[in-house]
Amino acid sequence: MKEAAIPDALEGESFAVEAREGWLSWVASVDHKQVGIMYLLGAFFFFIVGGILALLMRVQLAVPDNRFVTPEIYNQLFTMHGTTMVFLVLVPLLIGFSTYLVPLMIGARDMAFPRLNALSFWVQIFGGVMLYFSFATGGVNGGAPAAGWFSYAPLSEKAFSFSRGVDYWALGLLAIGVGTLGAAINIVATAICLRAPGMTIRRLPLFVWMTLVNAWLIVLVMPILNAALVMLLIDRQLNAYFFRPAMGGSALLWQHVFWAFGHPEVYIMILPAFGIISEVVPVFSGKPIYGYEFVAASTVAIAFLSLAVWAHHMFAVGLGHTFDMFFAVCSMAIAVPTGVKIFNWTATMYQGRLRFTTSMMFALGFLLMFTIGGLSGVAFAVVPVDWQMTDSYFVVAHIHYVLFGGTVFALFSGVYYWFPKISGRMLSEYLGKWHFWLTMVGFNLTFMIQHVLGMLGMPRRVFTYPALPGWEAMNLLSTVGAFLLAFSVLIFMINLAISLRTGEAAGDNPWDAWTLEWATTSPPAAENFPLGVPPVHGRRPLWDLAHPDRTDEMLMKLAG
Amino acid sequence: MPDKNKLGVGLFILSEANFFLILLVAYVYFHLQPGQGPSAANSLHPLRMLAFSLCLFLSSATVYLAGRSFKRGRGNVWLWLALTVVLGALFLFGQSREYVGLFAHGVTVSSNLFGTTFFTLTGFHGLHVLVGLCALATLLGVALTGRLGCIKPAGFEAISMYWHFVDAVWVVIFAVVYLWPLIARMTA
Amino acid sequence: MPGPYSANAFTLAPASPQAAAISRLFVGTLIFLGVVLALVTLLVLYAIIRYRDRPGAPEPRQNFGSRRLETIWTVVPILLLIVLTAFMAYAMHTGDPAAAVDDPDLRIVAHQWWWEIYYPKSGVIAANEIHIPVGHSLSVELRSADVIHDFWVPQLARKIDIVPGHPNYLRLQADHPGTYLGACAEFCGTEHAWMRFQVIAQPPDKFAEWLRAQKAAPAAPTSPEAIQGAQIFADRTCANCHRVSHTVASASIGPDLTHVAGRRMLAAGALENTPANLGAWLHDPDEFKPGSHMPNLQLSKNDLNALVAYLETLK
């Protein structure tokens, strides 16, 4: 029997927990490292599931007028693919990284609320299970939700979606939302209240900073979704009228409320990814991040602005040019702080000494792919362009460039970077390079051509399409790319499995990095810093320790 | 550095505030042009509800006094807590009377948009009051069995903050749902 | 199955002044964005090559930033975006001219999953195929009978949502004759993919001819089979959903069939309109458009042929 003692320095509480080694101890664990790993594993599982849903969709779309799946099934596939990737993959992956890393990076022993941490994870998993249970419901009233991941009304109302799928969708998201909110509250409290002495807010590692800003955003906008879901459920189950135009309700109200949540949600899916890049690029360039204050400040600007752009999802609704203009201007404005980041990351590399580890390669891939996605986003801010390209495959291309080319690439970068810390072993760089290049080719093959399909008039969310010139070849190409992408994920899984068993021992700091998580063992001990936290006098504590003659403080003074 | 428990509860309250904000927006959106049939102007009892609302507002004062007594280690914490619970329960009683009356006149969540928005907004508020009452009743039970020493000041404070929040939300809801049609009528 | 089509619905091949305005802005935007992408790509590639770790590489320079650079790469994008906004405002004005009127030229009602086309000024009702005279700017009112749909004919106009409870208006115009492909572009349920339509722009005189023919009553069926078909149409409750002008059939739950034989497509783009396809559709609608509201009438072969014969007289 192994006793896992929760450190007693958490506000005078002591709850030593006797736990068996093995699986069961994980279920009862409130250790942020274990909860973090569970977040990552759970989300990766859903990533595979969501990816399979996508592959099924791409098979259906490989040729025109295909009969691989019925339209009812296809519509469930794309609804569940979107819902899964947003709520059960990207957000939990980022939260998982935050949960694991934030206490370590600020020199704390755990999150502010360890039990809330565990609860948040399990509630989110419960929500995911409930959502997927809908697939198992059969009969006339059965099936998964099929109204799209943003479930526009009145299509999502009982009259037009009579299966229980949308109810499962709403209830699942409510549960998942509770988990996400709990995690966010925990992250804010941890980052604000548990920092090691010397670690002022201005010295926070950028990953922590961006996660912190992100957590505030979650606290503000998750309840907006909850309100929308609750109103939809009341409409459906209690025969109310919020979103039923035929009875005086408003279909537009749903869109406003959903996107008031939905747009900040996409920033919630990218800000911590920005944080990962901000950690990885400096380390593998051998120099500090360029323009720390500007990268940090631009994050806050993005968070604020993200609350003011939601109706750029509604340019086609016909709300009037003045209305459209306001949101267009705000949407263009948000491109500026994002651009500032791209320039700062690039400038970080200049006069550095670049090490092309797999982690760095994914970070570089991110820079280019996310720039493409961000620029196509600027195209959408141009209202007349949006009038043509929204709801077409051009927007499908855009979202995948920012969410896959952006967030997923950053996540892969983070995995290759922090896997040694988490497991004590290095991932294979050989397999990593294969993984990276297969991903780059597969991803671009799948999605670049979709920009063209959109311009040729192919709408989104169609289970099939007519044999218009070029559509068949382009769709087939996209499908081939998707399978290549799936294969690349397989390589990644093989890398994980092999390296966990026989990977090279990592040591405390295999990358020569500078933030506090590298000042302890790999993996860290239960209480994180058994030998104490190094002194913090700057943004790179380990750099300062290794170079006492030219600490960051001194260098900054010299630079003036 | 701020106390993590107060910060945690504060963040939770912030998120709940946004939740109510959206429900309020929905209510207001549909009441800028009230349709036919039952509405806030012709189906509610503002004066009666004001009396019960005052109970709720008063309970904020009593819970504040309970907190003060708790901090000073006085023996009358239970009294103030009991008063808070009673006043809160009175509010809920008043709310139920309003609901029963509306049901009797065929106004339900599915009768028309007024019903939909009114019951959703006030219903969720009532639910929040109920949860708060449960927490307060638990505290009261602890106080009555003489085990207040086991309660951390942060925990007491958290429940207190939540109760003040629930109160503040009612101030806004009461103004928008009950007072707005009155003022509209007077200035018409 | 549908097709072969010879033309695409290519956004950058506009055929109206509005679509041309949008297309010009789109191309300009793409060029601008392309230049930015090229710049960023070059900067990154240069760094990768010049500053890669190799024997003899200098120590990385521990610098922290430059206020001047930050200002430049904040202000310059802002200025560029202001210019883009100016172009955008102009294109919004020309790309989506005011269209809300009390007496529109066209009223389009979107249904799950077909298009009801009504010409209020002449009383003509059609379905899924919109004829317009070349060179005229028509005012279109868009309404929904059920859920949110979207009217998108890329070569002629912006897309615009069709929201129940919120009528929208659009100006529709074609510069030259042709067939312009359109589709519903807001997910509206099971058969969203087969809610396609065509806008057929004709020289004004040909359009006038078409309109006259549409207004006219369909010729009475003469062949015995067609007469039998007309009877089946009445007996088998087709009239409960479908209108045929100048007969008792006047419902608009399904598409108007008065001149169905003259259309190019069936089932909102799911099938080419041939007698064989019409028969196949009637035999089993679910085969081609599963989930559509057209019931399977379980027609016998004889009845089916008769019905098709009748419907083919509705030119």
Angle at A390 between CA A384 and CA A392, to 5 degrees: 130
Q: Which pLDDT score, from 0 to 100, does residue C201 have? A: 96
Residues C162, C244: one domain?
A: no
| C198 within a domain of the structure (yes/no) | yes
Q: Chain B neighbours among A 174-213 (CB < 8 Å)?
A: 181, 184-186, 188-190, 192-195
Q: How far is CA A455 from CA A378, A448, C23, C30, C153, in A?
A: 16, 12, 10, 12, 12
* Count of C-beta atoms within a 10 Å radius of residue A443: 23
Range of the domain at B129: 4-27+37-187
| B11 within a domain of the structure (yes/no) | yes
CATH number of this structure's domain A31-559: 1.20.210.10
Using CB atoms, list chains with 3+ pairs below 8 Å to chain C.
A
Q: Which residues contact B43 (CB under 8 A, 6 or more apart)?
A: B102, B105, B107, B114
Q: Do B7 and A188 touch (CB under 8 A)?
A: yes
Mean pLDDT of chain C: 94
Closest Cβ opposite residue B14 in set A192, A219, A242: A219
Q: Which pLDDT score, from 0 to 100, does residue A6 have? A: 40
Chain A residues in contact with C85 by the CB 8 A cut-off are 328-329, 332
Chain B contact for A484 (CB, 8 A cutoff): no
Q: Do B14 and A228 touch (CB under 8 A)?
A: no
Chain A contact for C181 (CB, 8 A cutoff): yes
- Which pair of tokens denotes residue C273? 């309109």
Residues C287, C210: one domain?
A: no
> What is the DSSP code (8-state) at residue A84?
I
Work out the average pLDDT over B61-69. Answer: 95
> Which CATH number fits the domain that encloses residue C299?
2.60.40.420
Q: Which pLDDT score, from 0 to 100, does residue A233 have? A: 98
Q: Which residue stretches of chain C have pLDDT < 50?
A: 1-4
pLDDT in tens, A333-354: 999 999 999 999 999 999 999 9
- Which pair of tokens denotes residue B86? 């009673």
Return the closest-CA partner of residue A454 out of C11, C176, B103. Answer: C11
Give the total number of structural domains in chain C. 3
| B126 within a domain of the structure (yes/no) | yes
Residue in chain B closest to A195 (alpha carbons) equals B1
Q: How far is CA A264 from CA A213, A224, A270, A306, in A?
A: 12, 11, 10, 5
More confident residue, A34 or C4: A34
Q: Chain A neighbours among B 4-23 (CB < 8 Å)?
A: 4, 7-8, 11-12, 14-19, 22-23
Confidence grade of residue A5 (pLDDT, cut at 50, 70, 90)? very low
Q: Which pLDDT score, from 0 to 100, does residue C289 have? A: 94
Work out the average pLDDT over A436-457. Answer: 98
On the CB side of C74, CA atoms within 13 Å amount to 15
Confidence grade of residue A402 (pLDDT, cut at 50, 70, 90)? very high
* Count of C-beta atoms within a 10 Å radius of residue C249: 18
- Mutation pick from C12, C33, C179, C288 vs chain A, by most beta carbons of A within 10 Å, is C33
More confident residue, B34 or A353: A353
| B32 within a domain of the structure (yes/no) | no
| C238 within a domain of the structure (yes/no) | yes
| B175 within a domain of the structure (yes/no) | yes
- Which pair of tokens denotes residue A319? 């709300």
Domain chopping of chain A, boundaries: 1-30, 31-559
pLDDT at residue A298 tops 70: yes
Residues C210, C238: one domain?
A: no
Residue in chain B closest to A218 (alpha carbons) equals B15
| C255 within a domain of the structure (yes/no) | yes
For residues A87 and A226, what is the distance between their CA atoms, to the nearest angstrom?
Answer: 13
- Answer yes or no: is the ipTM higher than 0.90: yes
Using CB atoms, list chains with 3+ pairs below 8 Å to chain B.
A
Angle at A124 between CA A148 and CA A366, to 5 degrees: 65
Q: Which pLDDT score, from 0 to 100, does residue A22 have? A: 78
For residues A452 and B24, what is the distance between their CA atoms, to the nearest angstrom?
Answer: 43
Contact between residue C109 and residue C74 where contact means Cβ atoms under 8 Å apart: no
Residues C190, C231: one domain?
A: no
pLDDT in tens, B77-112: 999 999 999 999 999 999 999 999 999 999 999 999
Mean pLDDT of chain B: 94
Residues C72, C117: one domain?
A: no
pLDDT at residue A13 tops 90: no
Task: Please list the alpha-helical segments (H only) found in chain C.
Answer: 17-50, 67-95, 204-215, 224-235, 275-283, 285-288, 301-311
Confidence grade of residue B147 (pLDDT, cut at 50, 70, 90)? confident
Q: Do A250 and B14 touch (CB under 8 A)?
A: no
Residues C211, C228: one domain?
A: no
Range of the domain at C91: 10-47+68-95
Contact between residue A99 and residue A41 where contact means Cβ atoms under 8 Å apart: no
pLDDT in tens, A221-258: 999 999 999 999 999 999 999 999 998 999 999 999 99
pTM for this predicted structure: 0.95
Confidence grade of residue A16 (pLDDT, cut at 50, 70, 90)? very low
- Helices A32-60 + A114-136 axis angle, to 10: 20
For residues A557 and A549, what is the distance between their CA atoms, to the nearest angstrom?
Answer: 13
Residues C17, C116: one domain?
A: no
Mean pLDDT of chain A: 95
Q: Which pLDDT score, from 0 to 100, does residue C6 have? A: 56
Q: Which pLDDT score, from 0 to 100, does residue A142 have? A: 78
* Count of C-beta atoms within a 10 Å radius of residue A225: 26
b/e code A465-476 from CB counts within 10 Å (16+ = b): bbebeebbebbb
Work out the average pLDDT over A146-171. Answer: 96
pLDDT in tens, A275-285: 999 999 999 99
Q: Do A228 and B115 touch (CB under 8 A)?
A: no
pLDDT in tens, C35-55: 999 999 999 999 999 999 999
Residues C115, C209: one domain?
A: yes
Residue in chain A closest to C157 (alpha carbons) equals A388
The radius of gyration of chain C's CA atoms, rounded to the nearest angstrom, is: 27
b/e code B116-150 from CB counts within 10 Å (16+ = b): bbbbbbbebbbebbeebbebbbebbebbeeeebee
Residues C254, C205: one domain?
A: no
- Which pair of tokens denotes residue A33? 């490292």
Confidence grade of residue A1 (pLDDT, cut at 50, 70, 90)? very low
> Which CATH number fits the domain that encloses residue B168?
1.20.120.80
| C19 within a domain of the structure (yes/no) | yes
> What is the DSSP code (8-state) at residue C114?
E
